[in-house]
């Protein structure tokens, strides 16, 4: 049987990480989490996730810098989660190397559907 896809959740808010961990693990993913970008970069090398879910509003390094650093070492799909619902934010995320952008508060069904789509897209190209 194929191993469940690995997802790495990167968010400085423990409550958000826990909520996402529960939702995604029940949705068929093997879930890992990191409280900041530095920890995420270490974990990416070790666990080689199939998807990274990344918050933008974190202390140093912030989500933008973390996104840039991940892109320097990996082509893993990255789904941005953000409370910054500014005009053009989704385009900005894509332009900086993300594969998608969802706004908080998160609709868990939308998150689940988008996460599976990104994992399946990557599997089809590898």
CATH, range 6-125: 3.40.50.2300
First to last CA, the chain: 19
What's the whole-number mean pLDDT along residues 4-18? 96
DSSP for 87-115, please give it. Answer: TTHHHHHHHTT-SEEEESSP-HHHHHHHH
User: Residue 34 carries which DSSP code?
Assistant: E
Residue 19 token pair: 């909520």
Q: What is the pLDDT of residue 60?
A: 82
| Confidence label for 2 from pLDDT (cuts 50, 70 and 90) | low
Residue 10 three-state SS: strand
Q: Where are the domains of the chain?
A: 6-125
For residue 1, what pLDDT is reported? 36
User: pTM of the entire structure?
Assistant: 0.94
- Residue identified by tokens 């320097």 is 72
pLDDT of 61-109, one tens digit each? 999 999 999 999 999 999 999 988 778 899 999 999 999 999 988 899 9
Q: Is the pLDDT of residue 55 over 80?
A: yes
CB atoms within 10 A of CB 9: 26
Cα separations in angstroms, 25 against 20, 29, 63, 85, 119: 8, 5, 23, 27, 14
Q: Can you tell me which residue has the tokens 């939308």?
A: 110
The per-residue pLDDT for range 26-49, each reduced to its tens digit, is 999 999 999 999 999 999 999 999
Question: Which residue(s) pair with 39 in the sheet?
Answer: none
């Amino acid at each position: 049987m194929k191993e469940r896809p690995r997802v790495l959740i990167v968010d400085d808010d423990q409550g958000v990480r826990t909520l996402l961990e529960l939702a995604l693990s029940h949705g068929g993913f093997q879930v890992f989490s990191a409280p900041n970008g530095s920890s995420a970069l270490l974990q990416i090398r070790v666990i080689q996730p199939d998807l990274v879910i990344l918050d933008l509003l974190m202390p140093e390094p912030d989500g933008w810098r973390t996104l840039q650093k991940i892109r320097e070492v990996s082509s893993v799909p990255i789904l941005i989660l953000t409370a910054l619902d500014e005009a053009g934010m989704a385009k900005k995320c894509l332009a900086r190397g993300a594969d998608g952008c969802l706004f908080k508060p998160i609709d868990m069904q939308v998150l689940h559907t988008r996460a599976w789509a990104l994992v399946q897209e990557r599997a089809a190209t590898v």
